[in-house]
Structure 1
Amino acid sequence: MAAATARPMELCFASRAATPTPAGMAPARPKKRRAGTVRCAATAPAPMGEKTEYRDGPLERAFMGLFARKMEKYATGGGKRKQQPAEKEKEKAVWEWDYENFVDVSRRVMVGRTRAQQQEAVREVLLSMLPPGAPEQFRKLFPPTRWACEFNAALTVPFFHWLVGPSEVIEVEVNGVKQKSGVLIKKCRYLENSGCVGMCVNMCKIPTQDFFTNEFGLPLTMNPNFEDMSCEMIYGQVPPPLEEDPASKQPCYPNLCSMSTPSAPVCPKLQ
């Protein structure tokens, strides 16, 4: 079908068109456009089996760099890595990172760690990104009300586009009440680039659920769909125990994950 082979759409914000020159006046010399005046971002994911093309701007790369730098401290098995002086000289600026670097750091955080240790490392990274007392302030500003859930869902779409890709707010049912506190991630960029079920669950789903539910006091459940790599986030819904979560019984992607164990019925990183 034509829709299945179409390239992912892109949304571009270009600089303004030139102002018309009044009659009798010489046209002004066109100014050289600076790099970065056009920013493009994928607005629709590629079909399953194909990789979505993103064109990240300096701001998106800065977010990747900030997170990757924090995670780099845990990127060797068994504890924090002490950076040597020679490494400090070669340290990249935050805007010099790309998404592949970010995913690679995440993958190295998994090395030598149990499932619980991986999740704890992500929790510490998230806490380190916040100013002191931020969780307490969040609890005061956003008690677990319908408004708070819907507000955070609305914020998720623009603020986490760089991390998960295109998403949209959807209506969900929480405790028998319909509300727009759901976010549908159309094809998770993190899962698409890593191809790893264990990274999805241990480095994203469980730590994010736990952080919002226990640190911020705002329940959050994430339901990844491993068939099409989409994911549903439901603010206001308490997540189930891991042993009751279908994501904990998911096998590897044998053709996508470099660390996969195709013969295992469940991804070994989930055990």
Structure 2
Amino acid sequence: MKALGITVGGLPNLYSTGIRNRRLSVSFASTSPSGPKTVGVTAPKIEYKPGVLDNLFLNLFRNKLVQEVGWDSKKPGYDGLIEVANRLMMKGTTNSHTIEATVRILRSLFPPFLLELYKLLIAPLGGGKVAAVMVARVTALTCQWLMGPCKVNSVDLPDGTSCNSGVYVERCKYLEESKCVGICINTCKFPTQTFFKDHMGVPLLMEPNFADYSCQFRFGVLPPLPEDDAVVKEPCLEACPIASQRRMAAKNIGAIACPKT
């Protein structure tokens, strides 16, 4: 989400797509013929020790999230943040509502007019490369409290050149702790892409890997349309708590709706 004010970009025509009208519904069928996806959860976790500023960022983001949801978890720290994010996912009547709410949260993290000035004055420089490099570096510096260890790397741009406007997340803590594809794509990937493109003028493609929990940010690269994005076809994770509840309740009428659908 990714990300504390430094993690979101362009999702062209997001709300005119099928995602807009896709509502939460009771569904007992597997999201893929092979069933929920089993990921490399046996690999050791990559720990990141937060500093003073990291704790400030976490508390600020959590407070904004609580204001949007209207509810707070009793759990402290990151565990409580994940519970509030899950409540945000379940609160939205459609995925587009959840995405819109997350974008509002990200915008609220910035002082008035800062985003507009960045989009107007910085985003056009060097054909967009200057802004892309800047946000990549700031993301890597300020968002490890949310995502875990990450580093700036070189990515290929649409014009055929390469640029150090990528951020590689070794093992995303947000995905690993939430254990939910729906939370990843609807409270992180799509809203973050939308935020950066629409409100900072920097295109962003995020490529989460649900097999090893890594994620590649590509600032300066436009994402595909939602219906063409392979991520929306990803099956639920085997470890997803909501998916497991659905499987347990598959014979009951009152099964819990999956937030991914």
TM-score in terms of structure 2 length: 0.72
Where do residues 17-166 of structure 1 align in structure 2 (5 Å cutoff)? 48-49=41-42, 50-75=44-69, 81=70, 97-113=76-92, 114-139=94-119, 140-143=121-124, 145-166=128-149
More off after superposition, 192-201 vs 58-67: 58-67
Secondary structure, aligned partner of 1:269: coil
Establish whether residue 232 from structure 1 lines up as the match of residue 212 from structure 2: no
Matching residue's letter, 1:122: T
Establish whether residue 212 from structure 1 lines up as the match of residue 202 from structure 2: no
The structure with the largest helix share of the pair is 2
Matching residue's letter, 2:78: Y
CA distance in 2 between counterparts of 1:52 and 1:151 reads: 26
Secondary structure, aligned partner of 2:104: helix
Secondary structure, aligned partner of 1:123: helix
Secondary structure, aligned partner of 2:259: helix
**Contact preservation (8 Å) 2:85, 2:187:** yes
Give the deviation of 1:97 after TM superposition: 4.5
Secondary structure, aligned partner of 1:106: helix
CA distance in 1 between counterparts of 2:203 and 2:229 reads: 16
Q: Deviations over 1:166-209 (max 9, x none)?
A: 11111111111111111111111100111111111000000000
Q: Deviations over 1:199-257 (max 9, x none)?
A: 11000000000000111111011011111110110011011111111111111112x21
The structure with the largest strand share of the pair is 1
CA distance in 1 between counterparts of 2:52 and 2:133 reads: 29
Question: Quick check: which has more Rg, 1 or 2?
Answer: 1
**Contact preservation (8 Å) 1:153, 1:183:** yes
Secondary structure, aligned partner of 1:270: coil
Let me know the Cα RMSD of the aligned residues: 2.5
**Contact preservation (8 Å) 1:164, 1:190:** yes
Q: Which residue is equivalent to 1:270?
A: 260
**Contact preservation (8 Å) 1:169, 1:181:** yes
Establish whether residue 171 from structure 1 lines up as the match of residue 151 from structure 2: no
CA distance in 2 between counterparts of 1:103 and 1:112 reads: 14
In percent, how many aligned pairs have the same letter? 35
**Contact preservation (8 Å) 2:46, 2:149:** no
The answer for unaligned runs of 5 or more in structure 2 is 1-39, 251-256
More off after superposition, 168-177 vs 232-241: 168-177
**Contact preservation (8 Å) 1:64, 1:97:** no
Q: Alignment length, in residue pairs?
A: 207
